[in-house]
Amino acid sequence: MLLKRGIIALVIVLVAFVTQTSSSEINRGSFPKGFVFGTASSSYQYEGAVKEDGRGPTIWDTFAHTFGKIIDFSNADVTVDQYHLYNEDIQLMKDLGMDAYRFSIAWSRIFPNGSGEISQAGVDHYNNLINALLAKGIEPYVTIYHWDLPQALHDKYGGWLNPLITKDFATYVETCFEKFGDRVKHWITFNEPHTTVIQGYDVGLEAPGRCSVPLFPFCRAGNSATEPYIVAHNILLSHAVAVDIYRKKYKAKQHGSVGVAFDVIWYEPATNSTEDIEATQRAQDFQLGWFIEPLTFGDYPSSMKSRVGSRLPAFSKPQSALLKGSLDFVGINHYTTFYGYDNKSNIIGVLLNDSLADAGALTMPFRNGKPIGDRASSIWLYIVPHGIRNLMNYIKQKYGNPLVIITENGMDDPNNPLTPIEDALKDEKRIKYHNAYLSNVLAAIEEDGCNVKGYFVWSLLDNWEWAAGYTSRFGLYFVDYNDKLKRYPKDSVKWFKKFLTST
C-alpha cells in the first residue's frame, strides 16, 4: 500500500496532459466489457497468525517489534486475522459484486527459512484460499512478493543486497507456479519495488530499516547512496528470471500472465519553466522509469545513468535481453499527485547524500503555500482525480500503450478512537474519491485510448498500514479492533454495490 511513502521528500514527476474530468454518474456498464473490478490486500497487513503452521519470521516482524519504528507502537501479529477469517471476507467480496481479489503469498509460509524445505501447511492454506475464491466466482490476482522477506535470508546474506537472492527467489516463485498456477492466471512478481528500495534502504522508514542519511538519527546501518540501486538491480533481475521460468515451463499449459505493481505518484511541473518541466521528468525517471524502463527497453533511463554514474549497476547484454519485454501487463498503484520543482541549490541533496537527491528534483503537494487538492488522512495523500488520467496517458505515450491494471487506488480516514462506529461508517469522501478517479480512468480509456483493463480498490478492510500501524483506515469495511475484529460496511460499500450491479 502507499502509506509506505510517509515521507514527502520522495521523487517523481511529469507534465500533465489533460484537465480534470467531471465526475458524472458512472457504473460498471460504463466500462468496456471484461473490465475487472476488485479489491487489494497483502499477506502481512491482513493475515496475522504470524507464528502458526510453521510460518517463519520476516524482516517486517523484526521491524514492527523494534521500539519506535511504528507510529502507534503496534504490530501485525493479528491485524485483521484473514488467515482464519478468509471465508467470511470472501463472502463480503461476493456481496460487493467484485470480480477479483488481489492478495499476496507470504514467502515464509511456503519456505519458513526462505529456502530449503517447503511447508505443506503454507501450501495448503493458499490452496484453500484460492479454491474458496474461485468457488464464489472471484478471480485470484496473486502478488508473489509484497515486502515480507524471510528474515533468515536477510540474516544469511543480506537479502536483496546480495545477488544470491535471485536464485532463492526463483525457487520460491517456481514453487508458486507449480502449486497454484493451474488456477492462478494473474501473477504480480513484486509490489512497489520503488517503495522497497527508498523506504527500506534509503531513508530507513520501513523494513529492514537501512540508511545512512546524516539527518536521520535512527540510521544505524546501510549506505543510502548505493544500497537502493543495488537492491533495485537485484529485484529487476529476479523478476526477469521469474518471467523467463514462467514463459519457458508454465505459460503454454497454464496460460497466465506476469506483471509488476509499480507505485506511481503523478508529478506535475510546479511552473511552466523549462527547469521545472525537466526536473519533473527526472523525478518520474527516478520513480517509475527506474523500474519500468529496464523491463521495457532493457536498461535504466538515461537521466539515471548520467546522474548516478558508477553507483548505478550495469546490466550485461544477456541480462538486458532477459529484462527487455518481460512485462505481460503493467500494474499501477496510484493514489495522489504532487508538484515537481527543480532543485536549483541542491542543498537538500548535500544534506541527504542519498538516491533521493540524485534526481535533482523536489516533489511536494504544495505550490505557493496552497495544497494541490483536498487531503485524506495520510500526510502524503491529496485527492487529485485528474492525475490518474494524466498518468495513464503518460504510460500510453512513453511505453507503447501496454495493458495496464490499476492494482491499487484508494484513500484513508483517520482512526479516531473517539469517533462512534456509526459515524466512522459515513465515508462520503471515499465515495467521491472513487467516483472521481474512476471517471478519469474511464475518460482515459474512452477518450484517450489508454489500454486499462482493471481497477483494484485499496482496500476491502481497514488493516495494519505498515509504519502507520492502525492510525489509518483505508477499508470499504470498518474493522472493530476492540470487538473481535467485526467487519461493518461503510457507506462506500453501498455505493460500490450499486455501482457494480448497475449496467
Q: Are 451 and 403 in contact (CB under 8 A)?
A: yes
Tell me what the mean pLDDT of segment 205-217 comes to.
86
Q: Which of 52, 123, 112, 118 is nearest to 82 (CA)?
A: 52
| Rg of the chain (C-alpha set) | 21
Has residue 374 got a pLDDT over 70?
A: yes
Read off the pLDDT band of 347 (50, 70, 90). low
Q: How far is CA 270 from CA 4, 321, 347, 406, in A?
A: 24, 37, 19, 26
Quickly tell me which residue has 487529485 as its cell: 384
Has residue 58 got a pLDDT over 80?
A: yes
Has residue 314 got a pLDDT over 70?
A: yes
Return the pLDDT at 213.
80
Return the pLDDT at 1.
44
- Render pLDDT for 94-137 as a digit per residue (tens, 0 to 9): 999 999 999 999 999 999 999 999 999 999 999 999 999 999 99
Read off the pLDDT band of 219 (50, 70, 90). confident
- Taking the C-alpha atoms of residue 322 and residue 317, their distance in angstroms, rounded to an integer, is 9
Tell me what the mean pLDDT of segment 28-45 comes to.
98
- Taking the C-alpha atoms of residue 472 and residue 403, their distance in angstroms, rounded to an integer, is 31
Read off the pLDDT band of 7 (50, 70, 90). very low
Return the pLDDT at 348.
57
Cα torsion 69, 74, 77, 82 to 10°: value is: -120
Q: Residues of the chain with pLDDT > 90: what percent?
A: 90
Return the pLDDT at 11.
33
Has residue 152 got a pLDDT over 60?
A: yes
Read off the pLDDT band of 218 (50, 70, 90). confident
Q: Which of 118, 124, 132, 129 is nearest to 175 (CA)?
A: 118
Output the pTM of the full model.
Answer: 0.95
Q: Residues of the chain with pLDDT > 70: what percent?
A: 93
- Render pLDDT for 392-447 as a digit per residue (tens, 0 to 9): 999 999 999 999 999 999 999 999 999 999 999 999 999 999 999 999 999 999 99
Tell me what the mean pLDDT of segment 243-266 comes to.
98
DSSP reduced 3-state for 22 = coil
Tell me what the mean pLDDT of segment 62-77 comes to.
97
Return the pLDDT at 351.
57
Active-site annotation, residues: 192, 408
- Lowest-confidence region among 202-216, 311-325, 335-349: 335-349
Strand ranges inside 18-147, DSSP E: 36-40, 100-104, 139-145
Q: Are 411 and 393 in contact (CB under 8 A)?
A: no
Work out the mean pLDDT of the chain and round it to a whole number. Answer: 94
Has residue 82 got a pLDDT over 80?
A: yes
- Taking the C-alpha atoms of residue 78 and residue 58, their distance in angstroms, rounded to an integer, is 15
- Taking the C-alpha atoms of residue 221 and residue 284, their distance in angstroms, rounded to an integer, is 28
